[in-house]
Structure 1
Amino acid sequence: MDKQKYYESLASKWVGGTISDEEKEVFSKWFSEIPDQDIVLHPSYAESEEQLKLRIFNQVKARLGKPHMETKATISSFAAWRNIAAAITVIFASTLLIYFYKTDTENDSFATIVPGGSRATLVLSDGKEVLLDSINVGAKVYDGNVMIQKDENGHLTYSFVNDEGSELVYNTINTPAGGEYRVTLPDGSKVWLNSLSSFKYPLKFAGNRREVILHYGEAYFEVAKHTDDKTRIPFRVYTDNQMVDVLGTQFNINTYDSKKIKTSLVEGSIIVGVKSSSNSYPLSPGQQAQLNRKNGTISLESVNLDGIVAWKEGYFYFQDASLPTILEEFSRWYDIKVEYKNSVQEYQFMGKIPRSTELETAMEVLKTTGVNFEIKDKKLIVY
């Protein structure tokens, strides 16, 4: 059998569901080595799943007959369902993954599982709590001589009513599962908080240092340059046993992992250190410092920044991610519990999905790879 007919037969087996794991690997390797360009299927092609599969198979046949046409190991498919909200491109490491995007809900149990959003609780210096997603845009809250306001984008901003008082007082923002929030600090620095995060900061930075605390969770920082008599005032972030010194830069800190704290530099420069040690490690853009919680050591490695900042930009981004890793992110964002009924196959996933996607749609991506599931009382049961 010549090369063209061989890969055509593999495509046919893949569409028909009879392809073996070894053949999947061969076909995927061949398909992934073809240069960049998406295969785009118009919505009218996708009147049914079977028709879509047939169209994809025909696309593969056409490309086999035109070896110089540029393609990519990605299939972008748009299902012809009303109110199309988004198109999702997904890559599955060991086969081609077809994604069917539907806004009609086939499983009523998913109807109550909606994506997370801008939700957080503000704890004032006197302990009073303000549910931020329940107050209107433009609403003002006062904490001493500081006015806290929700702007037109739903973000929190601070301004001083007067300069009276020098006492250092703090606010804390807590985001729940299914929540995220952005706050502009008194010095103009911006902080984005992911789900299940707690961040503490002073209402007014005083002295020669700006210090804040990320108790837990994940936060993205865009630190403003701040001067006092033409001298730059450093910015420091404390997390557990770690401290990060900054002058003016953008970086991400992730403390979700029980074994490591991961600090990734996007722009500028930072120095990562350990409270219990004099050792410190300067980072360059694209590097990540990983603090071992058990022994306090820090290691550095290069990372894909697209995956690091995706949550801030409104996406899930998976690169060689295991199923438990993906479902852990889903559990935080959709505020659900995950239960495994049996052992999980060691699939490796790659892909990018909008965080605005409903849970049912996100799970359909995994279902096409053989993952079965049901949901009961906000518990996702995986088979």
Structure 2
Amino acid sequence: MKNQNRILYLLTRKRKYGLDEQEQQELDSWIGEDDSKKMLLKQLENQDKQHEVLQKFQRFASQQSLAEFKKHHINVVHSTSRLSTKTRPLIYWSVAALVLVCSTIALYFMADRHTTNKADELSIAAKNIAPGKDKAILKLSNGDYVILEDIAYGTSKNVNGLKIIKSSDGEISYEPSGNTELSVMVNKIVTPKGGQYRIRLSDGTRVWLGAESELEYPLQFAGNSRQVKLSGEAFFEVTRHKGADDVHVPFQLILPQQTIDVLGTSFNVSAYPNDPINRTTLVKGKVKVTTSHSSITLEPGQQALVVKNEGTLQINQVDVRNMEEWKNRSFRFEEESIQEIMKKIARWYDVEISYEGDVTTELFTGAVSKYENPSKVLKLLELTGKIKFRIEGRRIIVMS
């Protein structure tokens, strides 16, 4: 008997993007001579009959939650552009299929013993690998360090004339203590592997800092300049801000090999030193991305890719509906290779990654909860039929 989640994947992929020859054969084998399944497939092509089709499918997927399949079917992530389309076809994950909705739902129905044993092996091997959490070090301008986890929620700490405030939900902000001049102080917040943190800058701009990232910023913006530096990944909600002459002050983000100029907007940036590509994704507003060779102004729903070793700048159209989820509880992938995805998993779960054999060169798009055991993330990737994993201690081995 086929894995029902695999069938959901094939049905969704057929409807949205089409199947290759091998996948079509797999689906045809499942349908067989069953007239009701043939009718299901035909009706699935009709947008107006989705609800009816989903109800019918419940009879064929008795071990699968109808609600989960419904989300899987409707919320498939779509992108109209790709970084390299000639040699690297895309695999699209459903957001709902990748976000684990309820522990009582049988997320995977492994009908044959081999598949069940494989799932159990991953779960057992990953039981001691925990997801990341809020943790970071604050490097003060005078060289002192503050471990932010040591500050209790809803309290503050005074350090060398600086009042560090942690809100009840864990966001860091500042107030001067005494006669401290904040505009001359430049701090840096650093997250390790397995860490993340939130900070509110002096102008009200909010920043969600990802794992293994650094943000450098003045404690108080002065004059007609708002400039910060980033290494790693962060989501920004930039406020509009007026200077002394009542003129709007632009916000500028400095990255390796590029700058981003902002007036007031929400956007995500991924710019890790060892990654070959910097990605800037605009959710709302407008930003200008500049390299030494060119500049591009992004509109909402666009993503700028800076290819570091070439110095080139490209634009992709992307689905940003799940982008803001990254701030709180989700990974998100936009047409990324398995190597790029595994780097994110390595940073968040603080694990090592190695490869055996020639792994797939296909690209993946989708979102997945950050707070699940890594085995569940890996099993969801395995559903595509393009990749397999093995876990040994704190090392994840990627196999073809």
Distance 1:297 1:54 in 2: 47
Determine whether 1:296 maps to 2:311. yes
Distance 1:54 1:284 in 2: 41
Alignment of 1:100-119 (within 5 A): 107-119=123-135
Deviation at 1:56, TM superposition (A): 6.3
Residues 252-279 of structure 1: CA deviation (Å, up to 9, x unaligned): 11113732222122111222222x45x4
Distance 1:286 1:369 in 2: 26
8 A contact 1:244–1:271 mirrored in 2: yes
8 A contact 2:158–2:177 mirrored in 1: no
Distance 1:313 1:107, change over 3 A: closer
Give the number of the structure whose residues are more often helix, by fraction. 2
Determine whether 1:186 maps to 2:193. no
Residue identity matched to 1:158: Y
Alignment of 1:99-248 (within 5 A): 107-161=123-177, 164-165=180-181, 168-214=184-230, 216-229=231-244, 230-248=246-264
Distance 1:113 1:86, change over 3 A: farther
Distance 1:239 1:318, change over 3 A: closer
Which of 321, 338, 348 matches 1:306? Answer: 321
Structure 2 equivalent of residue 68 of structure 1: none
Distance 1:280 1:143, change over 3 A: farther
- Percent identical among aligned pairs is 30
Distance 1:240 1:263, change over 3 A: same
Residue identity matched to 1:208: N
Structure 2 equivalent of residue 356 of structure 1: 371
8 A contact 2:207–2:234 mirrored in 1: yes
Deviation at 1:31, TM superposition (A): 8.5
Distance 1:263 1:201 in 2: 19
Deviation at 1:76, TM superposition (A): 7.2
Tell me the TM-score normalized by structure 2: 0.70
8 A contact 2:129–2:373 mirrored in 1: yes
Deviation at 1:378, TM superposition (A): 0.6
Residue identity matched to 2:236: F
Distance 1:32 1:299, change over 3 A: farther
Distance 2:95 2:249 in 1: 49
Determine whether 1:264 maps to 2:271. no
8 A contact 1:259–1:293 mirrored in 2: yes
Distance 1:379 1:272 in 2: 36
Structure 2 residue matching 1:324: 3-state secondary structure? helix
Structure 1 equivalent of residue 69 of structure 2: none
Residue identity matched to 1:338: I
Structure 1 residue matching 2:368: 3-state secondary structure? strand
Determine whether 1:341 maps to 2:356. yes
Structure 2 residue matching 1:217: 3-state secondary structure? strand
Larger Rg computed on CA atoms:
1
Distance 2:289 2:96 in 1: 40
